[in-house]
Chain A
Amino acid sequence: MAPGVQGSVVIDVAAVTKSYGSGRGRVDALRGVDLTVHEGEIVAIVGQSGSGKTTLLQMLGAVDAPTSGTVEVAGNDLASMRERDLTGFRRSVVGFVFQQFNLIPTLTAYQNVEAAAVNLQGGGAPAPRIADLLAQVGLGDRMDHRPAELSGGEQQRVAIARALVNNPRIILADEPTGNLDTETGHEVLELLTGVAASGQRTLVLITHDDRVAAAAERVVTIRDGLIVDDGDAGGAPGGVRG
């Protein structure tokens, strides 16, 4: 999205806490986070290890639930949704990209993308769309290769294609360049921001890397479970309440 142009709110996190364990072993991963993200924004969440950024990202993707507070994504109040609806949400609203790619080693690049496309009836995205996506991420000639036959950058490209196959409104990327060398990481980052921008998608990514964060329109810093800075990295400002 062009700087200064704000779309509608697509992520609205309010007073979210997340605790693990109980009693003296209790760990507070998030201690009251408020965050608003607009449609089409590219937001980087930065922070040290254990600061709570991955926990926050997983809540946005409905793979974890807050201990308290509300998470509303694309108009869906995740806390009030049943498991069946959450499955549909994960399938169609968000697309995940993981630091370690999380590809299924026995499946080819094509099949790994297909895995995210299969619906409850066993069908899924048409073959041309999967092939187009793989071509779009530069793997048009590597579709039949298994992960072990692909480089780290290529594997992450497969993961990006998998995240895009259901045409989600939001891409959630957890350290997408963390396992890649600088050059490859840069290429992957360009790809991610490119597909986000071209599809008017919102991109929320977690990173340790300042150069990656610099590519975002907005950088949110999280420390000890709290957002301590919500700055503008050259893009549009976001709404910060906490």
Chain B
Amino acid sequence: MFFIRYALAEIRRRPGRTVLTALGLAVGVALVVVVNAVSSGIDRAQQEVLQPLTGVGTDMTVARPLNTSGEGADPFTGLSAEERERLREEARRGLGLDLRSFAPGQRIDTEGFVAASQLSFPQSRVASIAREPGVETTAGSLTLDAVRVEGTVPQSGIAGARGPGGSIQFDRRSVTGVDVTTPDLGELTADQVTSGRYFDPARPRARDAVLSTAYANANNLSVGATVSLGGTDFSVIGISAAPLGGTPSDAYVPLQALQQVADYPDKVTKVLVRVTSVDEVDPVAARIEEGFPGSEVTTASDLAATVGGSLDDAQAISKTLGTILIIVGLVAAVLIATLLTLSSVSKRTRELGTLKSVGWSPSQLVRQVSGEATVQGLIGGIVGALVGAAIAFALNAADWTLEATVQSQAATTPGRGGGPFGLGAPTEVSEAIAISTDPSIAVAVLAVVLAVAGGLVAGAIGGLRAARLRPASALRSSD
């Protein structure tokens, strides 16, 4: 085909212009590939952060937090009378330890369970939420703190026991009872178990426990060991990956077992909900909050707002600056290609005029110039895609990490005291998240197509200019 041979010959004839045009488009394409790879990597990292918060496959969680803005709230605690009553009811359960009843010098050695970060509520809520339209699956969980109090009440009284030099030790470990019949939905899913195994959904053993990696490492525990939780011994059957933020617990046991040993019969502190479609998230959340007074429904998008740190900053940057960068890069690349093509047409005025005088039609001239620019676009696109992919792989190899900071209410460190009223104190959990910047083949192909389109646009503009040349003027040109 004459046109193709001619186009390739022209491209070889002016290597400098070809390289410049292709380079301009290559920069645009490389920008698209790299920015997309980084942006996707950051999005994946964000998902990685969010998934453990919601639970894998979970669309929303329902909890019953203490509300501090009720009517007639106590000026000191901020709690309404109703909330204070709920808190008292919570305190009567589990350990039920009133330290003020101990006399100076008296020895204390007791252990049991106390409420952690959320108030408990009837397990029947799990079933009622499951009946809401749009809900696919639900799973209840109960998170408590296994507390051991050991020591001697000092002569100064219990008030000074936890101060400097206090002799009473509080050992606190968070324990979550999970619904073992839903191994793919819950605060601990089967996927999270990194060694050992998950609970047997068909025949769960009441004294089986899965420990978090952090807790197991800190206490030199492994699969097969025995751990005492709230005064009850559990066999360690698995170790789970530690999720970031949320309410990571030190230990996970079957829900019914925890309800029994902690004396929280038919109580849960959280319901994990999976809806039938993404569109159902907001309506289902609204219906649950309406039907469950005082509840707090948290969706993935709510949690996204709680993620901070450099990861969050990077995502904000990649969403705004990255998009601008891609647009500016592509527009600049097409502009450069257009200018260079127009310059090329100017330099070939007599040649193009000659072709017109020997019978080439305007459309043939447009096709010829466009074809050449399109080939340059293809070269630039492929080079840009390869360079962009190389940069993305290089970033990947550099183990680039960003820090994610997530608000958490769990007090998970053994021996650390909780917040007021025995509830977990709000904390910030930070973790370095590795950013995987694998380039997308689909985006690379799209970017090449864009570069070819850019070449086509540049060629069409240059070709139209060539087509409008008056042959007599073109023939007078000295090139």
Residues of A within 8 A of B (CB): 55, 58, 61, 63-64, 83-84, 87-88, 90-92, 95-96, 98, 102, 104-107, 111, 114-116, 118, 120, 122, 124, 162-163, 166
**Interchain CB contact under 8 A, B9 and A107:** yes
Distance in angstroms between the alpha carbons of A36 and B454 in the assembled complex: 51
Does B107 make an interface contact (CB < 8 A)? no
User: Could you say which residues of chain B place their CB within 8 Å of the CB of A92?
Assistant: 359
Distance in angstroms between the alpha carbons of A17 and B364 in the assembled complex: 31
A-B Cβ contacts below 8 A, count: 78
Q: How many whole Å from B173's CB to the nearest CB in chain A?
A: 80
**Interchain CB contact under 8 A, A120 and B12:** no
User: Could you say which residues of chain B place their CB within 8 Å of the CB of A96?
Assistant: 354, 357-358
Contact of A98 among B3, B354, B360 (CB under 8 A): B354
Q: How many whole Å from A99's CB to the nearest CB in chain B?
A: 10
User: Could you say which residues of chain A place their CB within 8 Å of the CB of B355?
Assistant: 104, 115
A-facing mask of B44-60, CB < 8 A → 1, else 0? 00000000000000000
A-facing mask of B106-129, CB < 8 A → 1, else 0? 000000000000000000000000
Q: How many whole Å from B16's CB to the nearest CB in chain A?
A: 15
Does B266 make an interface contact (CB < 8 A)? no
Residues of B within 8 A of A (CB): 1-3, 5-6, 9-10, 12-13, 350-351, 353-364, 470-472, 475
User: Could you say which residues of chain B place their CB within 8 Å of the CB of A106?
Assistant: 6, 9-10, 12-13
Q: Which residue of B lies closest to A174 (CB)?
A: B475
**Interchain CB contact under 8 A, B6 and A63:** no
**Interchain CB contact under 8 A, A111 and B359:** no
Instruction: Determine chain B's interface SS by DSSP, over half rule.
Output: helix
**Interchain CB contact under 8 A, B475 and A63:** yes
24 A-B Cβ contacts within 8 A? Answer: A58-B472, A61-B357, A63-B356, A63-B357, A63-B471, A63-B472, A64-B470, A64-B471, A64-B472, A84-B361, A90-B356, A91-B358, A96-B354, A102-B475, A104-B6, A104-B354, A106-B9, A111-B9, A118-B364, A120-B361, A120-B363, A122-B3, A162-B358, A163-B358
Across the A-B interface, the 5 shortest Cβ-Cβ residue pairs: A91-B359, A64-B472, A106-B9, A63-B471, A116-B358
- With A64-B470, A122-B1 known to touch, is A87 a contact of B361 (CB < 8 Å)? yes
**Interchain CB contact under 8 A, A116 and B475:** no
**Interchain CB contact under 8 A, B471 and A166:** no
**Interchain CB contact under 8 A, B13 and A105:** yes
User: Could you say which residues of chain B place their CB within 8 Å of the CB of A90?
Assistant: 356-359
Known A106-B10, A106-B12, A118-B2; 8 more pairs at CB < 8 Å: A64-B470, A91-B358, A95-B358, A102-B354, A116-B358, A118-B3, A118-B364, A122-B1
User: Could you say which residues of chain B place their CB within 8 Å of the CB of A64?
Assistant: 470-472
User: Could you say which residues of chain B place their CB within 8 Å of the CB of A61?
Assistant: 357
Contact of A114 among B2, B12, B13, B472 (CB under 8 A): B2
**Interchain CB contact under 8 A, A104 and B351:** yes
User: Could you say which residues of chain A place their CB within 8 Å of the CB of B472?
Assistant: 55, 58, 63-64
Q: How many whole Å from B374's CB to the nearest CB in chain A?
A: 16
Q: How many whole Å from B416's CB to the nearest CB in chain A?
A: 78
**Interchain CB contact under 8 A, A115 and B6:** yes
Q: How many whole Å from B421's CB to the nearest CB in chain A?
A: 85
Distance in angstroms between the alpha carbons of A105 and B6 in the assembled complex: 11
User: Could you say which residues of chain B place their CB within 8 Å of the CB of A105?
Assistant: 13
Distance in angstroms between the alpha carbons of A166 and B364 in the assembled complex: 17
**Interchain CB contact under 8 A, A102 and B363:** no
User: Could you say which residues of chain A place their CB within 8 Å of the CB of B351?
Assistant: 102, 104
Contact of A166 among B3, B10, B359, B363 (CB under 8 A): B359
Distance in angstroms between the alpha carbons of A118 and B2 in the assembled complex: 8
Interface centre among B2, B10, B358, B364 (most CB of A within 10 A): B358
- With A64-B471, A102-B475 known to touch, is A87 a contact of B354 (CB < 8 Å)? no
Q: Which residue of B lies closest to A162 (CB)?
A: B358
Distance in angstroms between the alpha carbons of A95 and B359 in the assembled complex: 9
User: Could you say which residues of chain A place their CB within 8 Å of the CB of B12?
Assistant: 106
Distance in angstroms between the alpha carbons of A131 and B220 in the assembled complex: 90
**Interchain CB contact under 8 A, B359 and A87:** yes
User: Could you say which residues of chain B place their CB within 8 Å of the CB of A163?
Assistant: 358
**Interchain CB contact under 8 A, B358 and A115:** yes
Distance in angstroms between the alpha carbons of A116 and B364 in the assembled complex: 12
Distance in angstroms between the alpha carbons of A84 and B359 in the assembled complex: 10
Q: How many whole Å from A120's CB to the nearest CB in chain B?
A: 6
Distance in angstroms between the alpha carbons of A84 and B475 in the assembled complex: 20
**Interchain CB contact under 8 A, A116 and B359:** yes
- With A64-B470, A106-B13 known to touch, is A87 a contact of B475 (CB < 8 Å)? no
Distance in angstroms between the alpha carbons of A102 and B363 in the assembled complex: 21
Q: How many whole Å from A143's CB to the nearest CB in chain B?
A: 14
- With A63-B472, A64-B470 known to touch, is A122 a contact of B2 (CB < 8 Å)? yes
**Interchain CB contact under 8 A, A120 and B364:** yes
Q: Which residue of A lies closest to B6 (CB)?
A: A107
Contact of B475 among A58, A104, A114, A118 (CB under 8 A): A58
Q: How many whole Å from A165's CB to the nearest CB in chain B?
A: 9
User: Could you say which residues of chain A place their CB within 8 Å of the CB of B10?
Assistant: 106
Q: Which residue of B lies closest to A89 (CB)?
A: B359
Distance in angstroms between the alpha carbons of A47 and B357 in the assembled complex: 23
User: Could you say which residues of chain B place their CB within 8 Å of the CB of A166?
Assistant: 359
Distance in angstroms between the alpha carbons of A73 and B357 in the assembled complex: 15
Distance in angstroms between the alpha carbons of A116 and B356 in the assembled complex: 9
Q: How many whole Å from B367's CB to the nearest CB in chain A?
A: 9
Distance in angstroms between the alpha carbons of A34 and B308 in the assembled complex: 87
Distance in angstroms between the alpha carbons of A206 and B283 in the assembled complex: 87
User: Could you say which residues of chain A place their CB within 8 Å of the CB of B350?
Assistant: 102
User: Could you say which residues of chain A place their CB within 8 Å of the CB of B362?
Assistant: 83, 87
**Interchain CB contact under 8 A, A87 and B360:** yes
User: Could you say which residues of chain A place their CB within 8 Å of the CB of B363?
Assistant: 120
User: Could you say which residues of chain B place their CB within 8 Å of the CB of A63?
Assistant: 353, 356-357, 470-472, 475
